[in-house]
Structure 1
Amino acid sequence: MTAVPDLTARLSEVSEVTEAHLARVDRDAAFPVEALDALRRTGLLGLLVPADEGGLGGSPRDLVAAAQVLGRTDMSVSMIFAMHCQQTAALTRYADDRLRKDLLPRVAAGEVYLASVTTETGTGGHLLSADAKLDRDDDVLTLDRFAPIVTGGAHADGFLVTMGAPGDTTAHEVSLVYADRAQLTIEGSGDWQPMGMRASHSVPLHLTGSVPGHHVIGGHGRFHDIALQVFGPLAHLGWSAAWLGTAAGALSRVLRLLRSPAGRGRFDLSSELLLSRLARARRRLDAVHALLHRALADVESGGDLSRPPRQLLLNSLKVTASEECLAAVDDLVEAVGLRHGYLKDSPTRLELALRDLRSASLNYHNDRLNLADGRLALRDLGVTFA
Structure 2
Amino acid sequence: MSAPAMTAAPVRPERIGAADLAALTERVAKVTAEHVEHTDREAAFPVAALAELRATGLLGLLVPVEYGGLGGTVADLVEASIALGRVDMSVAMVFAMHGQQVAALVRHGGERLRAEVLPEVAAGRVYLASVTTEAGKGGHLLSAEAALAAADGELLVDRFAPIVTGGEHADAFLVTMLSPHATNPGQVSLVYARRDQLEIERSGDWQPLGMRASHSVALRLRGRVPEHQVVGAHGDFRSVVTGVFGPLAHLGWSACWLGTAAGALSRVLRLLRSPEGRKQSNLESELLLTRLSRARQRLDTVYALLVQTERTVAEAADLTPPRIQLRLNALKITAAEECYAVVDELVDAVGMRHGYLKGSPTRLEQALRDLRSAVLNYSNDRLHLADGRLALLDPEVRFG
TM-score for both structures, normalised by structure 1: 0.99
Q: How does 1:291-370 map to 2 (within 5 A)?
A: 291-370=305-384
| Counterpart in the other structure of 2:282 | 268
Cα separation, 2, equivalents of 1:256 and 1:2: 31
Cα separation, 1, equivalents of 2:335 and 2:123: 32
Q: Kindly provide the amino acid, as one letter, of the partner of residue 167 in structure 1.
A: H
Cα separation, 1, equivalents of 2:16 and 2:177: 36
Q: Deviations over 1:46-87 (max 9, x none)?
A: 000001100000000000000000000000000000000000
Among 21, 41, 49, the alignment partner of 1:7 is 21
> Residue 320 of structure 1: CA displacement?
0.2
Cα separation, 2, equivalents of 1:219 and 1:167: 12
**Quick check: 2:16–2:70 contact (8 Å CA) kept in 1?**
no
Q: How does 1:157-236 map to 2 (within 5 A)?
A: 157-236=171-250
**What SS does the corresponding residue of 2:184 show, helix, strand or coil?**
coil
Q: Deviations over 1:318-368 (max 9, x none)?
A: 000000000011110011111111011110000010000000011111111
Cα separation, 2, equivalents of 1:124 and 1:269: 46
| Structure 1 stretches of at least 4 aligned residues deviating more than 4 Å after TM superposition | none
Cα separation, 2, equivalents of 1:8 and 1:116: 26
RMSD: 1.0
> Residue 138 of structure 1: CA displacement?
3.2
**What SS does the corresponding residue of 1:331 show, helix, strand or coil?**
helix
Cα separation, 1, equivalents of 2:186 and 2:17: 39
Cα separation, 2, equivalents of 1:2 and 1:262: 41
| Counterpart in the other structure of 2:73 | 59
> Residue 2 of structure 1: CA displacement?
6.2
> Residue 306 of structure 1: CA displacement?
1.2
Cα separation, 1, equivalents of 2:94 and 2:175: 16
| Counterpart in the other structure of 1:147 | 161
> Residue 5 of structure 1: CA displacement?
6.7
**Quick check: 1:54–1:108 contact (8 Å CA) kept in 2?**
yes
> Residue 3 of structure 1: CA displacement?
3.0
Q: How does 1:236-251 map to 2 (within 5 A)?
A: 236-251=250-265
Q: Deviations over 1:123-166 (max 9, x none)?
A: 11100000000001131100100000000000000000000001
**Quick check: 1:4–1:57 contact (8 Å CA) kept in 2?**
no
Q: Deviations over 1:92-139 (max 9, x none)?
A: 000010000000000000000000000000211100000000001131
**What SS does the corresponding residue of 2:193 show, helix, strand or coil?**
strand
> Residue 4 of structure 1: CA displacement?
5.8
Cα separation, 2, equivalents of 1:220 and 1:5: 40
**Quick check: 1:49–1:56 contact (8 Å CA) kept in 2?**
yes
> Residue 187 of structure 1: CA displacement?
0.1
Cα separation, 2, equivalents of 1:279 and 1:302: 34
| Counterpart in the other structure of 2:10 | none
Q: Deviations over 1:274-303 (max 9, x none)?
A: 001111111110100010001011011031
**Quick check: 2:356–2:364 contact (8 Å CA) kept in 1?**
yes
**Quick check: 1:4–1:58 contact (8 Å CA) kept in 2?**
no
**Quick check: 1:89–1:230 contact (8 Å CA) kept in 2?**
yes
Cα separation, 2, equivalents of 1:200 and 1:43: 20
- Is 1:68 the equivalent of 2:82? yes
Q: Kindly provide the amino acid, as one letter, of the partner of residue 31 in structure 1.
A: F
TM-score for both structures, normalised by structure 2: 0.95
Cα separation, 1, equivalents of 2:355 and 2:254: 23
| Counterpart in the other structure of 1:19 | 33
**What SS does the corresponding residue of 1:355 show, helix, strand or coil?**
helix
> Residue 382 of structure 1: CA displacement?
1.1
Q: Kindly provide the amino acid, as one letter, of the partner of residue 275 in structure 2.
A: P
**What SS does the corresponding residue of 1:144 show, helix, strand or coil?**
strand
Q: Which moved more, 1:5-14 or 1:238-247?
A: 5-14
| Counterpart in the other structure of 2:8 | none
Identical positions, percent: 65
Q: Which moved more, 1:298-307 or 1:109-118?
A: 298-307
- Call closer, same or farther: CA 1:300–1:171 in 2, change over 3 Å: same
| Counterpart in the other structure of 2:12 | none
Cα separation, 2, equivalents of 1:151 and 1:349: 23
Structure 1 portions without partners, runs of 5+: none
| Counterpart in the other structure of 2:125 | 111
> Residue 6 of structure 1: CA displacement?
1.4
